[in-house]
Amino acid sequence: MASDQLVDYALPRELYRVIKAYWKLFFGVLGHDEKFWDVCFENLSAARNRMAHGRDVAIDANARTIAEAQCQEIIDICDRRDRDNRPQSV
């Protein structure tokens, strides 16, 4: 089923442009400085492009491991943020 959320169709580089434009909002949530995320999203964009265009064999094992760890870190941050923002049951 296709998503009705426009953000689901954005590329990593596009998402990071939004994050950078609103850095003051994201800094406290992301937990690393802007330089860290510059490198992270550059790695993710490179890995995504190779995989999306059938060149995933061109990603060495170390680069793939790093990209997977970076993706997991983003997922963990989102999960924590989601848990922290849920209304508390009484």
Residue that is written with structure tokens 């998503």 in the block = 3
Query: What is the per-residue pLDDT for 82?
Result: 85
Question: Considering the domain boundaries, does residue 6 fall inside one?
Answer: no
**φ/ψ (deg, to 5) at 24:** -60, -30
Give a yes or no: residue 2 inside a domain: no
Whether residue 41 is contained in a domain is answered as: yes
Question: Residues 48, 64: contact at Cβ < 8 Å?
Answer: no
Residue 43 belongs to a domain: yes
Percent of the chain with pLDDT over 70: 92
Residue 25 domain flag: yes
Name the domain count of the chain. Answer: 1
Q: pLDDT of 38-53, one tens digit each?
A: 999 998 988 888 887 7
Domain that holds residue 28: 11-79
pTM, full prediction: 0.72
Contacts of 39 (CB under 8 A, 6+ apart): none
In a domain, 39, yes or no: yes
Q: How many CB atoms lie within 10 A of CB 12?
A: 21
Domain contains 88? no
Q: Which of 73, 51, 77 is closest to 63 using CA atoms?
A: 51
In a domain, 62, yes or no: yes
